[in-house]
Amino acid sequence: MKKKTTMTVTEIRSLAEGVFSMKLRYPENEIPQEVRPGQFAGLYPNDPSKLLPRPISICRWNPDTGELQFVFRVAGAGTASLAAQKIGSSVDMLGILGNGYDLEKLAGKRVLLLGGGIGIPPMVELAAALASMPGSEVTAVMGYRNSDLFLTQELERYGNLLIATEDGSVGTKGNVLDAVRENGVRADAVCACGPMPMLRAVKKFAREQGIPAYISLEERMACGVGACLGCVTKTVKTDSHSHVRNARICTEGPVFDAEEVEI
Amino acid sequence: MREETYRGKPDMSVNIAGVELKNPVMTASGTFGSGMEYSEFVDLNRLGAVVTKGVANKPWEGNPTPRVAEVYGGMLNAIGLQNPGIDVFIERDLAFLKQFDTKVIVNVCGHTEEEYLEVVERLADEPVDMLEINVSCPNVKQGAIQFGQDPDCLKDITAKIKRIAKQPVIMKLTPNVTDIAVMARAAEEGGADAISLINTITGMKIDIEKRKFVLANKTGGLSGPAIKPVAVRMVWQAAQAVKIPIIGMGGIASAEDAVEFMLAGASAVAVGAMNFHDPYLTQKVVDGMEQYLLRHNIQTVRELTGAVQ
């Protein structure tokens, strides 16, 4: 069930330049039953001039403590106000939103996780979930701008980690697919989150390999719950909700089979 | 207003064109889907009416993305009236809404006169309490807003819709006109049973780093608290010009805002963009208005309409 909840900040720290980790704890009686990798929440800036929740993917979920970890880049005044929060302060959150990755489709497979920039955080929760499933094998290939890396230790815990950097300072010089090719990574399925040019390349790569690609899309959102139709993506077939070729990223997504969307 | 003797539970009901609403709080079209998404947050039985997202005779794809952008104290949208068409709407959305004890107001959109009339006709025998005609969407290229910006066109289409409509007709007015009173009178002369205002104010946002328009449509409709003073002023001006009831909206973020619209001359109010900020807001506005009446010892919410001095 979706709710707007007042969460308590239990951690706020900088992981890299402009990239922050924020942990938010649920009130004890409001801890959700289930949080799936690839889902997201809407975080409200503590600023009355900013009305809309910021859609931010879930990096980690700890059901024992009721804490969600978000890792986000400061992109404007709204995310800057979130980064300026202090431990113990309150943040309003709309959650849990979106579909998340379908783990059943990934069970027992060699799964290639591709994350680009601020698309990396949701891959941590996904890697953790896959690592706990018998027979699943995780190779994570993460793309950064430069040696200012983040979340690498967390990812190494759950599988092989390869790194690509735009400036070549760490790992393969280039993008995540350059690193996949350089290392001859083989996989049965791909899960990806990152900028649109990367997702387009991932779709093409998966098609060439004859394997499915599950990609997480991003779009400017308003309501976050499927009412406003702001955050749609073009679909190949007529969508069953909209009855046109548009699916709502916040509700039918953010994770789509790459072959079902026109990107 | 009588503030002396009354001490009981206030009467929140209002009557709009013969339709009895349990309270004056509605949802603004386009901000609440067909109620389904927000029914997880709000007990729809508690609302005066649910006003649906605009529906046309056929499915509409809407505009390319980005369709929304936040601005100071508000937001811009250029959804382009994406909707599944009247057939799916009746089968799915209307069927859903009829489970609740609230009035259902269907917002009707079209590119041409014929398209509006087709939807109105299709709804004639459906369990719909009122129709709201969107002649004021700023994000649809042809038709639509033209009907709302030319008083002769507005009067004409109102009259044509009234001729075939089986439910009371609310004409939804755009604020993007020189004189709202002229438009309000045109709707009244055309036979409208009520008017609702304001729709969004045309706006624009530019990303100065990329030197590009933020919205794919370039322009979009501004909504949210930023537009509230304009909306209150227009509701007041319209109330001076016509006798038919007015449904006031534009940036309502609290019960106090809703009361302000009533005092300006509205008989009912609608909560719009701020549903995105607080999905529980509609219900809070109902509760807060009742508290206001109790606090001021006012017997019926209807006494607020036009009571500004």
| B-chain residue closest to A251, CA distance | B37
For the domain bounded by A3-97, which CATH number is listed? 2.40.30.10
Question: Using 50, 70 and 90 to split pLDDT, how confident is the model at B73?
Answer: very high
Does the pLDDT value for residue A48 go beyond 90?
no
- Do the domain assignments include residue B116? yes
Question: Using 50, 70 and 90 to split pLDDT, how confident is the model at B287?
Answer: very high
Number of structural domains chain B divides into: 1
CB contact under 8 A, B65 and A228: no
Question: Using 50, 70 and 90 to split pLDDT, how confident is the model at B66?
Answer: very high
- Do the domain assignments include residue B75? no
Give yes or no for a contact between A120 and A72, defined as CB atoms under 8 angstroms apart: no
**CATH C-level class of A103-215:** alpha beta
The interface residues of chain B toward chain A in range 267-296, judged by CB-CB distance below 8 A, are 273-280
Residue in A219, A221, A223 to test binding to B, most B beta-carbons within 10 Å:
A223
B306 touches chain A (CB under 8 A): no
The confidence score (pLDDT) of residue A1 equals 86
pLDDT in tens, B191-247: 999 999 999 999 999 999 999 999 999 999 999 999 999 999 999 999 999 999 999
Amino acid at A23: K
Of B31, B65, B224, which is closest to A219 when you measure between CB atoms? B65
Does the pLDDT value for residue B139 go beyond 70?
no
CB contact under 8 A, B67 and A232: yes
Mean pLDDT along residues A142-165: 97
Does the pLDDT value for residue A69 go beyond 80?
yes
Question: Using 50, 70 and 90 to split pLDDT, how confident is the model at B145?
Answer: low
Specify the range with the lowest mean pLDDT, choosing from A245-259, B128-142, B183-197, B214-228.
B128-142
Mean pLDDT (chain B, rounded): 95
Interface predicted TM-score (ipTM) of this complex, two decimals: 0.95
The CATH number of whichever domain residue B18 belongs to comes to: 3.20.20.70
Query: A2 contacts in B (CB within 8 Å)?
Result: 40-41, 279
Of B32, B74, B278, which is closest to A4 when you measure between CB atoms? B278
Right CATH number for A217-263 from 1.10.760.10, 1.20.970.10, 2.10.240.10, 3.40.50.740?
A: 2.10.240.10
* Alpha-helical runs (H) found in chain A: 77-83, 121-131, 152-156, 176-182, 196-209
Of the candidates A49, A183, A53, which has an alpha carbon nearest to the alpha carbon of residue B276? A53
The confidence score (pLDDT) of residue B147 equals 80
Residue B137 is a catalytic residue: yes
| B-chain residue closest to A2, CA distance | B40
Does the pLDDT value for residue B284 go beyond 70?
yes
Q: Give the domain extent around B268.
A: 14-57+82-196+225-304
- Do the domain assignments include residue B3? no
For chain A, which residues make up each domain, given as ranges? 3-97, 103-215, 217-263
The interface residues of chain B toward chain A in range 203-242, judged by CB-CB distance below 8 A, are 224-225
Three-state secondary structure along B173-194?
CCCCCCCHHHHHHHHHHCCCCE
Question: Using 50, 70 and 90 to split pLDDT, how confident is the model at B7?
Answer: low
pLDDT in tens, A177-219: 999 999 999 999 999 999 999 999 999 999 999 999 999 999 9
| A-chain residue closest to B29, CA distance | A228
Residue in B34, B57, B82 to test binding to A, most A beta-carbons within 10 Å:
B82
The confidence score (pLDDT) of residue B136 equals 72
Of A52, A94, A241, which is closest to B75 when you measure between CB atoms? A52
The confidence score (pLDDT) of residue A143 equals 98
Mean pLDDT (chain A, rounded): 97
Cα–Cα separations (whole angstroms), residue A189 to A40, A127, A152: 22, 13, 21
Mean pLDDT along residues A7-28: 98
Q: Indicate whether this model's pTM tops 0.90.
A: yes
The confidence score (pLDDT) of residue B144 equals 59
CB contact under 8 A, B73 and A1: no
Of the candidates B191, B197, B152, B190, which has an alpha carbon nearest to the alpha carbon of residue B173? B197
